[in-house]
Amino acid sequence: MNQIIDFLLSIGFGKNEAEIYCVLIQLGKSSVLEISKKTNIHRSNIYDSLRKLIKEGLVYEITSERKLFMARHPECLLDFLKNKEIEVKNILKELREKTLNQQLHEDVKLSKGLFSLKEALLGLLELNNPIKVYGIPGDAAERIGPLIEEFHKTRIKKQIPMYHIFNSDGIKRVEYLNTLPHTEAKILSKNMILMQQQIYVEQK
């Protein structure tokens, strides 16, 4: 359940909204008191979160002798994401209009973080040139997440060749990548690793 909550947080849910939605999925029709007992969220905060979830079309109120709430089918998350996509497109349009007359002169961009890495991957696809990467850690795919598989699908569809050289811990990833079209992957040899370490020590 923690994994589902983390996902909901990543697509724009608040912490309380994510927990309440998951509880309603599990319990079905529930009162605020029942939700509070299950989540340990104060009842006044639950009402605020339920109003947000109802507004987003993710939860609905059932009219009966007492107020009950129920989560809509999980498929409604797709509609939620589509609405968020529309919001982002509208914001991007407004931002482009605001920066239309600005001239940006940048020879080099320096950025850090996972988002920057994802942005760089998508930028490589736009170039339509062969891609070469070197010194990749074995857990790189796990760090980047599901986007890396979408990246490869698009790259292969565009027939963009990619050449990888992994560190010694990337054997399993190399085996997998070599099954993909337009893809070649190898492990960095031990001699090369020793040479790199020696150069590093000498530089120190």
Contact criterion met (CB below 8 Å) for 28 and 70: yes
Do 118 and 65 reside in the same domain of the chain?
no
| Residue pLDDT, tens place only, 36-54 | 999 999 988 999 999 999 9
Q: Is the pLDDT of residue 10 over 70?
A: yes
> What's the pLDDT at 115?
61
Question: 87 in a domain, yes or no?
Answer: no
Question: Which of 29, 47, 76 is where one domain is finished?
Answer: 76
Sign of the dihedral through C-alpha 62, 64, 68, 70 = negative
Question: 98 in a domain, yes or no?
Answer: no
> What's the pLDDT at 122?
76
> What's the pLDDT at 101?
56
Question: 83 in a domain, yes or no?
Answer: no
Do 118 and 198 reside in the same domain of the chain?
yes
Domain that holds residue 7: 2-76
Average pLDDT over residues 137-145: 78
Helix H or strand E encompassing 70: strand 68-71
Range with the largest mean pLDDT of 9-18, 41-50, 106-115: 41-50
The CATH number assigned to the domain holding 14 equals 1.10.10.10
Question: 169 in a domain, yes or no?
Answer: yes
| pLDDT-derived band at 201, boundaries 50, 70, 90 | very low
Pick from 93, 60, 63, 74: nearest CA to 26: 74
What is the number of domains present in the chain? 2
Do 120 and 198 reside in the same domain of the chain?
yes
What mean pLDDT is reported for the chain? Answer: 80
Q: Is the pLDDT of residue 187 over 90?
A: no
Residue 52 corresponds to which amino acid? K
Provide the terminal-to-terminal Cα distance of the chain, rounded to the nearest Å: 48
Range with the largest mean pLDDT of 139-143, 146-150, 161-165: 161-165
Average pLDDT over residues 153-159: 91
